[in-house]
Amino acid sequence: MSYQDFQSAAKSLISSKDGAWTGIDAESVARMQLQNRFKTGLDIAKYTAAIMREDMAAYDADSSQYTQSLGCWHGFIAQQKMISIKKHFGDTKRRYLYLSGWMVAALRSEFGPLPDQSMHEKTSVPALIEELYTFLRQADARELNLLFRDIDAARDAGDAEAEKAAMDKIENFQTHVVPIIADIDAGFGNAEATYLLAKKMIEAGACALQIENQVSDEKQCGHQDGKVTVPHEDFIAKIRACRYAFLELGVEDGIIVTRTDSLGAGLTKQIAVSNEPGDLGDQYNSFLDCEEIDPTTAKNGDVILNRDGKLLRPKRLPSNLFQFRPGTGEDRCVLDSITSLQNGADLLWIETEKPHVEQIAGMMDRVREVIPNAKLVYNNSPSFNWTLNFRQQVYDAMAAEGLDVAEYDRADLMDAKYDDTELGEAADKRIRTFQADGSKRAGIFHHLITLPTYHTAALSTDNLAKEYFGDAGMLGYVLGVQRKEIREGIACVRHQNMSGSDIGDDHKEYFAGDAALKAGGVHNTMNQFG
């Protein structure tokens, strides 16, 4: 519906009340309705799921059409990110949000900072999704409010052309609401617990759920040691649980992202159930580190597998966990990925120990032999030392080509003295094109950075504290923050407006007319930033 359609509908409704609603202004109603496009989280989930599906199809047709996101741990961070994207790029196309379980654990738990081990309250995840979308919806309301004020100013000035320009912007308004890929960890329990949490996350607005194949009670950060995976049938049950949650709530095109941690996970808690040679359970068990035994030498409590007529004893650790054979990680990742896609997953996530396009591509090539349109979500993780990794990749490539690398110390390539060298510049170029290269070569549909705003908050706070509490004093804030905000057009320099003060003033006028006590008068110091 257009601005005029909303206004006409409101006018008809008001007139039908036989004068009882004469204090209600139809145009004000239309404005409030336009500012509240999404009534529920399910409205958002359905809207954004369609966007992701469209983007996935576009990527299948052209791998340069990949998507990106940044992890956001607070609604304000997400809001400012999307305002910035609209300011710099004009639209939000192919730019999403990511909700990181790591950041929920570290920043949003009532227990205080926690490691990424599924110890935080699971209700904090849907609560953050709701918060993110509350702030994005407020960004819509704020921007539209500014356009409504432009219309009023144009009318007061008798400028029909300016009024039409503002109206055109309203009619073509693009929302700040974008898809969110939300981390459900390992499901926080059994499949029923996964289903219940998935429902809450979808109801809050999530169109894409990312779930990993670790055990819930031993869950670890993807970039830490000690990861324990589960047999495929256990994981498939949780994939189905997520799909049932989407279907129950009417989000038929909801997206499930299945993450395999098998590359860095050398342990399993369970021996998979196998009914015949070569079935899924048997394939999972085939990676176990076993030793052949004689039945007469079996020990009390031994777990014994029968494979090809041989009796094998999987190696069991004092922790009661079983270990996989070294060097099987990539094979397990490939099997995990194919199995997930064959059982209802839409996108893959392979957690790696370094950002290396050919390593990722090597696994995805094998997956795509079975499922040609397999697509990857990839974690451009801050846990990687990107500078060191890519400088070492360039060093190795130069050495393989027979080039002279005598001036470089491979173990010390982080040294700033290498910044302006041929090697340093070549590494930076590879970092710059990593996303495009990975999407073209390795099937990466979506690039995300899990924890970027955690690090930017720490860095900016450190810089401000150093200056403000040092010799610069107040100039530390003015030079490092406010003057940059003004000159770079950062919207929240007018923080009263950003928090909704002007929207509130307009509502007061709707409700009380000339009797409204408004905050945005001539004595409001925010006018200094007009």
User: Hey, what are 376's tokens?
Assistant: 């990857």
Report the residue count for the chain. 530
Q: Which of 520, 498, 494, 526 is nearest to 507 (CA)?
A: 520
DSSP, collapsed to helix, strand or coil, labels residue 490 as coil
Cα 398 to Cα 410: distance, rounded to the nearest angstrom: 12
- Dihedral of CA atoms 429, 432, 438, 444 in degrees, nearest 10, equals 180
Residue 191 backbone phi and psi in degrees, to 5: -65, -35
In what order do the strands lie in the sheet containing 267-268?
228-229, 267-268, 322-323
- 221 tagged catalytic: yes
Cα 6 to Cα 34: distance, rounded to the nearest angstrom: 8
Q: Which of 318, 288, 232, 228 is nearest to 264 (CA)?
A: 228
438 CB neighbour count, 10 Å cutoff: 24
DSSP 273: P
Q: How many CA atoms lie within 13 A of 76 on its CB side?
A: 8
Given 72, 221, 290, 333, the catalytic residue: 221
Cα 73 to Cα 467: distance, rounded to the nearest angstrom: 26
Which stretches within 289-348 are classed as H helix? Answer: 329-341
Q: Which of 186, 182, 257 is nearest to 216 (CA)?
A: 186
**Is the separation of the CB atoms in 331 and 287 below 8 Å?**
yes
Residue 526's identity, in one-letter code, is M
Q: Which residue has the tokens 């990680």?
A: 329
DSSP, collapsed to helix, strand or coil, labels residue 347 as strand
User: Hey, what are 355's tokens?
Assistant: 């950002």
- Dihedral of CA atoms 174, 176, 177, 183 in degrees, nearest 10, equals 140
Residues with catalytic function: 221
